[in-house]
Amino acid sequence: MGWSFLDVETPFGLAHRGGRGAAPENTIAAFARAAELGYAHLETDVHRTADGELVAFHDGDLGRVAERRGRIADLTWAELCEIDLGDGHHIPRLVDLLDAFPDARFNIDPKADDAVEPLVEVLRSHDAVGRVCIGAFSERRVARVREALGPGLCTSPGPTGVGRVLLAAVTGRELRAPYGCVQIPPRLGPVSLSSAWLIRRLQAMGLQVHYWTVNDRAEMVRLLDAGADAIISDEIELLAEVLAERGATPGR
């Protein structure tokens, strides 16, 4: 399946929530800095507001980022627009990101069940199905979006899907996985998920292998040496440097 989300040279980088340092996470300014550095793949999360808008925000609650109480699901879009995340930065809607970065590819995590339907609607209305990948800590959410949007959508498995994919890779069993990539941490407790052998097995199954969330230079280098297709990072300037040392750019 030739998903345009994956139709790039590897390795490449994904700017996790737009990256850290330049501006508050998941803001237009954060993603703009990533684009300036050459990132073509931007990672974000989405929640549904009380009045049905889909906003780019990681947590279900405002406390950590906005330093005030309140759940995204309980607030309207108009109420969220009034919240200053610092230095005039505000919470954007997903449609704002798609419009602001028309050439970017987005890795999107629907963080709650009620985000699935508006996510499907936004991707359809913006003709953006081909340039996104959907991944979540819920296999059911991933499956719902894929079922609604069809095989032209790239997805990464949720936890149960990751388990099936890894088992098939280790045992050599055939698995007809509907995913375009598998996005996993380098380790799961004491178990390494980032050996060169495992990466090759996953790639032989037709999957790109992306690692999150890697912010250490030595780990970036190790994963790229092992054959990782992509790295998801908050430290987007550091990752750009590491890729440049290999003659690569974040967006390839």
Peptide bond preceding 250 in cis form (omega within 30 of 0): no
Tens-place pLDDT, residues 40-49: 999 999 999 9
Residue 251, in any domain of the structure: no
Name the pLDDT band for 251 (thresholds 50, 70, 90). confident
Closest alpha carbon to 92 in 47, 127, 147, 61: 47
User: What's the CATH code of the domain at 57?
Assistant: 3.20.20.190
Q: Whole-model pTM? A: 0.96
Determine the Cα–Cα distance for residues 222 and 5; give it in Å rounded to an integer. 24
Residue 57, in any domain of the structure: yes
Which residues constitute the domain of residue 216? 4-244
Tens-place pLDDT, residues 179-205: 999 999 999 999 999 999 999 999 999
Residue 214, in any domain of the structure: yes
Q: Angle at which helices 196-204 and 159-171 pack, to 10 degrees?
A: 100
- Report CA-CA distances (Å) from 33 to 15, 49, 100: 10, 26, 12
Residue numbers annotated as active site: 16, 58
Determine the Cα–Cα distance for residues 104 and 100; give it in Å rounded to an integer. 9
Count of domains observed in the chain: 1
Residue 250, in any domain of the structure: no
Residue 252, in any domain of the structure: no
Q: Which residue type, as a one-letter code, is found at position 184?
A: I
Residue 52, in any domain of the structure: yes
